[in-house]
Amino acid sequence: MANDKKLVEAITSMDVDFAQWYTDVVKKAELCDYASVKGCMVIKPAGYAIWENIQHELDRRFKETGVQNVYMPLFIPESLLDKEKDHVEGFAPEAAWVTVGGNEQLQERLCVRPTSETLFCDFYSRDIHSYRDLPRVYNQWCSVVRWEKTTRPFLRSREFLWQEGHTAHATAEEAEARTIQMLNVYADFCEEVLAIPVVRGRKTDKEKFAGAEATYTIESLMHDGKALQSGTSHNFGDGFAKAYGIQYAAKDNSLKYVFQTSWGMTTRMIGAIIMVHGDDNGLVLPPRIAPTQVVIVPIQQKKEGVLDKAFEIKDVLSNFRVKVDDSDKSPGWKFSESEMRGIPVRVEIGPRDIENNQAVLVRRDTHEKLTVSIDNIEAEVEKLLDTIQHDMLEKARAHRDAHTYEATDFDSFVKTINEKPGFVKAMWCGCQECEDKIKEVTGATSRCIPFKQEQLSDKCVCCGKPATKMVYWGRAY
Amino acid sequence: MANDKKLVEAITSMDVDFAQWYTDVVKKAELCDYASVKGCMVIKPAGYAIWENIQHELDRRFKETGVQNVYMPLFIPESLLDKEKDHVEGFAPEAAWVTVGGNEQLQERLCVRPTSETLFCDFYSRDIHSYRDLPRVYNQWCSVVRWEKTTRPFLRSREFLWQEGHTAHATAEEAEARTIQMLNVYADFCEEVLAIPVVRGRKTDKEKFAGAEATYTIESLMHDGKALQSGTSHNFGDGFAKAYGIQYAAKDNSLKYVFQTSWGMTTRMIGAIIMVHGDDNGLVLPPRIAPTQVVIVPIQQKKEGVLDKAFEIKDVLSNFRVKVDDSDKSPGWKFSESEMRGIPVRVEIGPRDIENNQAVLVRRDTHEKLTVSIDNIEAEVEKLLDTIQHDMLEKARAHRDAHTYEATDFDSFVKTINEKPGFVKAMWCGCQECEDKIKEVTGATSRCIPFKQEQLSDKCVCCGKPATKMVYWGRAY
Question: Along the 477 residues of chain A, how does pLDDT read in single tens digits?
Answer: 344 445 555 799 999 999 999 999 999 999 999 988 889 999 999 999 999 999 999 999 999 999 999 999 999 999 999 998 888 899 989 999 999 999 999 999 999 999 999 999 999 999 999 999 999 999 999 999 999 999 999 999 999 999 999 999 999 999 999 999 999 999 999 999 999 999 999 999 999 999 999 999 999 999 999 999 999 999 999 999 999 999 999 999 999 999 999 999 999 999 999 999 999 999 999 999 999 999 999 999 999 999 999 999 999 999 999 999 999 999 999 999 999 999 999 999 999 999 999 999 999 999 999 999 999 999 999 999 999 999 999 999 999 999 999 999 999 999 999 999 999 999 999 999 999 999 999 999 999 999 999 999 999 999 999 999 999 999 999
B102 touches A187 (CB < 8 A): no
Looking at the complex, does the CB of residue A270 fall below 8 Å from at least one CB of chain B?
Answer: no
Measured between CA atoms, the residue of chain A closest to residue B103 is A93
d(CA B58, CA A74): 24
d(CA B348, CA B358): 10
Q: How far is CA B264 from CA B219, B230, B233, in A?
A: 14, 9, 7
Cβ of B40 within 8 Å of Cβ of A73? The answer is yes
ipTM (interface pTM):
0.96
Q: Which residues of B touch A158 (CB under 8 A)?
A: 101
Measured between CA atoms, the residue of chain B closest to residue A100 is B97
Q: Give me the mean pLDDT over the B359-373 stretch.
A: 98
Other CB atoms within a 10 A radius of the CB of residue B210 amount to 18
Measured between CA atoms, the residue of chain A closest to residue B127 is A33
Cβ of B41 within 8 Å of Cβ of A138? The answer is no
Cβ of A96 within 8 Å of Cβ of B93? The answer is no
**Exposure on the CB side of residue A160, measured as CA atoms within 13 A:** 25
Other CB atoms within a 10 A radius of the CB of residue A305 amount to 12
Residue A475: partners with Cβ closer than 8 Å, 6 or more residues away? A225, A226, A227, A417, A421, A442, A443, A444, A445
Widest CA span of chain B, in angstroms? 82
Strand, helix or coil at B30?
Answer: coil
d(CA A456, CA A408): 7
Q: Kindly give the pairing relationship between strand B104-112 and strand B96-101.
A: antiparallel
Q: For residue B313, what pLDDT is reported?
A: 98
Picking from B400, B349, B34, the residue whose alpha carbon sits closest to that of residue B222 is: B400
Helix (H) and strand (E) counts for chain A?
15, 23
Q: Which residues of B touch A323 (CB under 8 A)?
A: none
Q: Which among B42, B122, B138 is the nearest to A36, CB-wise?
A: B122
Question: With 90 as the cut, is the pLDDT of residue B380 above it?
Answer: yes
Q: Which residues of B touch A68 (CB under 8 A)?
A: 45, 48-49
Residue B15: partners with Cβ closer than 8 Å, 6 or more residues away? none
Cβ of B42 within 8 Å of Cβ of A98? The answer is no
Picking from A181, A183, A174, A234, the residue whose alpha carbon sits closest to that of residue A205 is: A234
Looking at the complex, does the CB of residue B3 fall below 8 Å from at least one CB of chain A?
Answer: no
Looking at the complex, does the CB of residue B120 fall below 8 Å from at least one CB of chain A?
Answer: no
Looking at the complex, does the CB of residue B35 fall below 8 Å from at least one CB of chain A?
Answer: yes
Q: How far is CA A79 from CA A107, A118, A146, A236, A241, in A?
A: 11, 10, 19, 20, 16
Cβ of A100 within 8 Å of Cβ of B80? The answer is no
Q: For residue B174, what pLDDT is reported?
A: 98
> b/e per residue, A341-370, with b = 16+ CB within 10 A?
bbbbbbbbbbbebbeeebbbbbbbbeeeee
Provide the strand spans (E) within B46-177. 68-69, 75-77, 96-101, 104-112, 136-145, 159-169
Cβ of A69 within 8 Å of Cβ of B75? The answer is no
Other CB atoms within a 10 A radius of the CB of residue B477 amount to 17
Q: What angle do CA A449, A454, A455 make, to 5 degrees?
A: 110
> Residues 97 to 116 of B: which have CB under 8 A from any A CB?
97-103, 109-110, 112
What is the least distance, in Å, from the CA of B168 to any CA of chain A? 15
d(CA B329, CA A101): 46
> Residues 376 to 405 of B: which have CB under 8 A from any A CB?
none
d(CA B434, CA A385): 66
**Exposure on the CB side of residue A428, measured as CA atoms within 13 A:** 26
Chain A and chain B share a number of CB contacts under 8 A equal to 161
Q: What are phi and psi of A390, to 5 degrees?
A: -65, -50
- The model's confidence at residue B6, banded by pLDDT at 50, 70 and 90, is low
Peptide bond into A135 cis (omega under 30): yes
Cβ of A70 within 8 Å of Cβ of B98? The answer is no
d(CA A62, CA A68): 8
DSSP letters spanning B110-125: EEEPS--HHHHHHHHH
Q: For residue B87, what pLDDT is reported?
A: 87
What is the least distance, in Å, from the CA of B270 to any CA of chain A? 14
> Residues 134 to 173 of A: which have CB under 8 A from any B CB?
138, 142-143, 145, 147-149, 158-159, 161
Cβ of B143 within 8 Å of Cβ of A138? The answer is no
pTM: 0.96
Looking at the complex, does the CB of residue B306 fall below 8 Å from at least one CB of chain A?
Answer: no
DSSP designation for B159:
E
What is the least distance, in Å, from the CA of B100 to any CA of chain A? 5
Cβ of A102 within 8 Å of Cβ of B44? The answer is no
CA A118 from centre of chain? 24
Other CB atoms within a 10 A radius of the CB of residue B130 amount to 11
Q: For residue A7, what pLDDT is reported?
A: 52
> b/e per residue, A423-453, with b = 16+ CB within 10 A?
bbbbbbbbbeebbeebeeebebbbbbbbeee
3-state helix, strand, coil in chain B (%, to 5): 40, 30, 35
Task: Work out the end-to-end distance of chain A between its first and last CA atoms, rounded to an integer number of angstroms.
Answer: 38
Looking at the complex, does the CB of residue A2 fall below 8 Å from at least one CB of chain B?
Answer: no
Q: How far is CA A237 from CA A118, A168, B158, in A?
A: 15, 10, 33
| High-pLDDT (> 90) share of chain B, % | 95
Looking at the complex, does the CB of residue A451 fall below 8 Å from at least one CB of chain B?
Answer: no
Looking at the complex, does the CB of residue A74 fall below 8 Å from at least one CB of chain B?
Answer: yes
d(CA A189, CA A54): 9
d(CA A404, CA A388): 24
Strand, helix or coil at B226?
Answer: coil
Question: With 90 as the cut, is the pLDDT of residue B302 above it?
Answer: yes
Measured between CA atoms, the residue of chain B closest to residue A113 is B74
Q: What are phi and psi of A59, to 5 degrees?
A: -60, -40
